[in-house]
Protein backbone atom coordinates (compact mmCIF):
# COMPACT_ATOMS: atom_id res chain seq x y z
CA UNK A 1 0.00 0.00 0.00
CA UNK A 2 1.21 3.51 -0.75
CA UNK A 3 2.67 5.65 2.01
CA UNK A 4 0.78 8.76 3.21
CA UNK A 5 3.53 11.03 1.85
CA UNK A 6 3.35 9.55 -1.65
CA UNK A 7 -0.45 9.67 -1.58
CA UNK A 8 -0.41 13.35 -0.67
CA UNK A 9 2.05 14.14 -3.46
CA UNK A 10 -0.07 12.20 -5.95
CA UNK A 11 -3.23 14.15 -5.14
CA UNK A 12 -1.42 17.48 -4.96
CA UNK A 13 0.02 17.25 -8.45
CA UNK A 14 -3.07 15.59 -9.98
CA UNK A 15 -0.83 12.95 -11.55
CA UNK A 16 -1.79 12.12 -15.16
CA UNK A 17 -3.31 8.72 -15.88
CA UNK A 18 -0.87 7.94 -18.69
CA UNK A 19 0.12 4.36 -19.53
CA UNK A 20 3.48 5.01 -17.86
CA UNK A 21 1.82 6.45 -14.76
CA UNK A 22 -0.64 3.57 -14.50
CA UNK A 23 2.08 0.97 -14.83
CA UNK A 24 4.23 2.66 -12.20
CA UNK A 25 1.28 3.15 -9.88
CA UNK A 26 0.14 -0.45 -10.12
CA UNK A 27 3.63 -1.83 -9.62
CA UNK A 28 3.88 0.26 -6.45
CA UNK A 29 0.44 -0.95 -5.34
CA UNK A 30 -1.08 2.52 -5.53
CA UNK A 31 -4.54 1.04 -5.75
CA UNK A 32 -6.45 2.92 -3.07
CA UNK A 33 -9.06 5.67 -3.03
CA UNK A 34 -6.57 8.50 -3.37
CA UNK A 35 -5.55 7.24 -6.82
CA UNK A 36 -9.17 7.03 -7.91
CA UNK A 37 -9.64 10.61 -6.75
CA UNK A 38 -6.65 11.72 -8.81
CA UNK A 39 -8.30 10.19 -11.89
CA UNK A 40 -11.87 11.22 -11.06
CA UNK A 41 -14.64 11.82 -13.58
CA UNK A 42 -18.36 12.65 -13.55
CA UNK A 43 -19.23 9.87 -15.99
CA UNK A 44 -21.53 7.11 -14.70
CA UNK A 45 -19.34 4.02 -14.27
CA UNK A 46 -20.08 0.36 -13.61
CA UNK A 47 -17.58 -2.45 -13.07
CA UNK A 48 -19.44 -5.57 -14.25
CA UNK A 49 -16.83 -8.01 -12.98
CA UNK A 50 -13.14 -8.07 -12.12
CA UNK A 51 -10.96 -11.15 -11.57
CA UNK A 52 -7.30 -12.11 -11.93
CA UNK A 53 -8.01 -13.23 -15.51
CA UNK A 54 -10.27 -10.53 -16.91
CA UNK A 55 -12.82 -7.80 -16.40
CA UNK A 56 -15.73 -5.92 -17.93
CA UNK A 57 -16.44 -2.24 -17.27
CA UNK A 58 -19.02 0.18 -18.67
CA UNK A 59 -19.11 3.97 -18.64
CA UNK A 60 -21.97 6.14 -19.89
CA UNK A 61 -22.00 9.84 -20.72
CA UNK A 62 -24.31 12.20 -22.59
CA UNK A 63 -23.81 15.12 -24.95
CA UNK A 64 -26.25 17.76 -26.17
CA UNK A 65 -24.77 17.38 -29.67
CA UNK A 66 -26.45 15.15 -32.30
CA UNK A 67 -25.14 11.64 -32.97
CA UNK A 68 -23.56 12.61 -36.29
CA UNK A 69 -21.44 15.28 -34.60
CA UNK A 70 -20.36 13.12 -31.65
CA UNK A 71 -19.48 10.22 -33.94
CA UNK A 72 -17.51 12.51 -36.25
CA UNK A 73 -15.59 13.93 -33.31
CA UNK A 74 -14.77 10.41 -32.18
CA UNK A 75 -13.42 8.93 -35.40
CA UNK A 76 -12.22 11.99 -37.33
CA UNK A 77 -11.03 14.38 -34.63
CA UNK A 78 -9.78 12.11 -31.84
CA UNK A 79 -6.51 14.03 -31.63
CA UNK A 80 -8.45 17.15 -30.60
CA UNK A 81 -10.12 15.69 -27.50
CA UNK A 82 -8.36 12.48 -26.36
CA UNK A 83 -6.35 13.36 -23.19
CA UNK A 84 -2.69 13.70 -24.13
CA UNK A 85 -1.78 12.32 -20.71
CA UNK A 86 -3.34 9.06 -21.93
CA UNK A 87 -0.80 8.64 -24.72
CA UNK A 88 2.77 7.35 -24.96
CA UNK A 89 4.48 10.53 -26.21
CA UNK A 90 1.70 13.17 -26.43
CA UNK A 91 1.85 12.45 -30.15
CA UNK A 92 -0.72 12.77 -32.94
CA UNK A 93 -3.66 10.36 -32.71
CA UNK A 94 -5.77 9.03 -35.56
CA UNK A 95 -8.35 6.34 -36.34
CA UNK A 96 -8.41 4.70 -39.77
CA UNK A 97 -12.18 4.47 -40.24
CA UNK A 98 -12.48 0.91 -41.57
CA UNK A 99 -12.38 -2.68 -40.35
CA UNK A 100 -8.73 -3.51 -39.77
CA UNK A 101 -7.91 0.18 -39.36
CA UNK A 102 -5.47 1.44 -36.76
CA UNK A 103 -6.10 3.61 -33.71
CA UNK A 104 -2.55 4.89 -33.80
CA UNK A 105 -0.22 7.45 -32.28
CA UNK A 106 2.75 8.97 -34.06
CA UNK A 107 5.47 11.35 -33.02
CA UNK A 108 8.61 11.94 -35.08
CA UNK A 109 9.95 8.48 -35.96
CA UNK A 110 8.06 6.73 -33.16
CA UNK A 111 4.64 5.13 -33.64
CA UNK A 112 2.28 2.88 -31.71
CA UNK A 113 -0.94 1.01 -32.38
CA UNK A 114 -3.14 1.53 -29.36
CA UNK A 115 -5.93 -0.69 -30.74
CA UNK A 116 -7.35 -1.99 -34.03
CA UNK A 117 -10.79 -1.40 -35.53
CA UNK A 118 -12.69 -4.69 -35.77
CA UNK A 119 -16.23 -3.35 -36.37
CA UNK A 120 -17.52 -0.01 -37.55
CA UNK A 121 -21.10 1.09 -38.22
CA UNK A 122 -21.15 4.87 -38.77
CA UNK A 123 -23.15 6.86 -36.23
CA UNK A 124 -23.99 3.67 -34.32
CA UNK A 125 -21.09 1.55 -33.07
CA UNK A 126 -17.33 1.13 -33.22
CA UNK A 127 -15.44 -1.81 -31.71
CA UNK A 128 -11.70 -1.52 -31.11
CA UNK A 129 -9.70 -4.57 -30.05
CA UNK A 130 -6.43 -4.95 -28.16
CA UNK A 131 -4.89 -3.97 -24.85
CA UNK A 132 -4.65 -0.34 -23.79
CA UNK A 133 -1.56 1.06 -22.11
CA UNK A 134 0.15 -1.33 -19.67
CA UNK A 135 -2.45 -4.02 -20.41
CA UNK A 136 -0.83 -4.40 -23.82
CA UNK A 137 2.51 -5.34 -22.25
CA UNK A 138 0.73 -7.75 -19.90
CA UNK A 139 -0.52 -9.63 -22.96
CA UNK A 140 -4.17 -8.86 -22.18
CA UNK A 141 -6.65 -8.56 -25.04
CA UNK A 142 -10.10 -7.04 -25.11
CA UNK A 143 -12.92 -5.37 -27.02
CA UNK A 144 -13.54 -1.65 -26.47
CA UNK A 145 -17.06 -0.90 -27.72
CA UNK A 146 -18.31 2.64 -28.35
CA UNK A 147 -22.11 2.70 -28.74
CA UNK A 148 -23.87 5.87 -29.95
CA UNK A 149 -27.61 6.27 -29.21
CA UNK A 150 -30.12 9.09 -29.19
CA UNK A 151 -31.14 10.26 -25.76
CA UNK A 152 -34.64 9.25 -24.70
CA UNK A 153 -35.97 12.76 -25.24
CA UNK A 154 -34.66 12.70 -28.80
CA UNK A 155 -32.21 15.52 -28.14
CA UNK A 156 -28.51 14.84 -27.90
CA UNK A 157 -26.47 11.65 -27.74
CA UNK A 158 -25.81 8.95 -25.17
CA UNK A 159 -22.41 7.28 -25.53
CA UNK A 160 -21.84 3.93 -23.85
CA UNK A 161 -18.24 2.73 -23.56
CA UNK A 162 -17.67 -0.92 -22.61
CA UNK A 163 -14.29 -2.60 -22.24
CA UNK A 164 -14.21 -6.37 -21.77
CA UNK A 165 -10.73 -7.89 -21.56
CA UNK A 166 -9.20 -11.26 -20.74
CA UNK A 167 -5.74 -12.49 -19.81
CA UNK A 168 -3.68 -13.04 -16.68
CA UNK A 169 -3.08 -9.81 -14.75
CA UNK A 170 0.48 -9.82 -13.45
CA UNK A 171 3.09 -7.42 -12.09
CA UNK A 172 6.85 -7.99 -12.45
CA UNK A 173 6.14 -11.48 -13.76
CA UNK A 174 4.12 -12.44 -10.67
CA UNK A 175 0.37 -13.21 -10.86
CA UNK A 176 -1.79 -10.54 -9.27
CA UNK A 177 -3.94 -11.31 -6.27
CA UNK A 178 -7.69 -10.80 -6.57
CA UNK A 179 -7.46 -7.53 -4.61
CA UNK A 180 -4.63 -6.27 -6.84
CA UNK A 181 -6.59 -7.20 -9.96
CA UNK A 182 -9.68 -5.40 -8.71
CA UNK A 183 -7.54 -2.38 -7.88
CA UNK A 184 -6.12 -2.27 -11.39
CA UNK A 185 -9.58 -2.56 -12.93
CA UNK A 186 -10.81 0.38 -10.86
CA UNK A 187 -7.91 2.46 -12.20
CA UNK A 188 -8.70 1.42 -15.79
CA UNK A 189 -12.36 2.28 -15.18
CA UNK A 190 -11.51 5.78 -13.98
CA UNK A 191 -9.16 6.39 -16.91
CA UNK A 192 -11.81 5.35 -19.41
CA UNK A 193 -14.35 7.57 -17.68
CA UNK A 194 -11.99 10.49 -18.31
CA UNK A 195 -11.65 9.57 -21.97
CA UNK A 196 -15.41 9.33 -22.46
CA UNK A 197 -16.01 12.58 -20.60
CA UNK A 198 -13.44 14.27 -22.83
CA UNK A 199 -15.38 13.23 -25.95
CA UNK A 200 -18.82 14.34 -24.75
CA UNK A 201 -17.47 17.60 -23.30
CA UNK A 202 -15.69 18.39 -26.57
CA UNK A 203 -18.89 17.65 -28.51
CA UNK A 204 -20.90 19.94 -26.23
CA UNK A 205 -18.56 22.82 -27.04
CA UNK A 206 -18.14 22.17 -30.75
Percent pLDDT > 70 in the chain is 80
Query: Which domains are assigned to the chain?
Result: 43-205 (3.30.530.20)
Q: Do 194 and 83 contact (CB within 8 A), yes or no?
A: yes
Tens digit of each residue's pLDDT (9 = 90 or more) over 93-140: 999 999 999 999 999 999 999 999 999 999 999 999 999 888 998 999
Task: Give this prediction's pTM.
Answer: 0.81
Q: What does the alpha-carbon distance between residue 1 and residue 196 come to, in Å, rounded to a whole number?
A: 29
Q: CB under 8 Å, gap of 24 or more: what pairs does 121-128 form? A: 122/71, 123/67, 123/68, 123/71, 123/148, 124/148, 126/74, 126/75, 128/103
Look at residue 155 in the predicted model and tell me its pLDDT.
87
Strands 170-171 and 174-175: antiparallel
Q: What does the alpha-carbon distance between residue 100 and residue 113 come to, in Å, rounded to a whole number?
A: 12
Amino acid sequence: MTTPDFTSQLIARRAPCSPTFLKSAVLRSVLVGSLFLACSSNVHADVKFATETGFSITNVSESSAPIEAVYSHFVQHIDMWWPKDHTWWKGTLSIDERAGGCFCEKKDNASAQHMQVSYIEPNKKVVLTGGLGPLQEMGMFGALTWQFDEQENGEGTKVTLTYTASGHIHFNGKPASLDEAKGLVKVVDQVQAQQLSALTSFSDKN
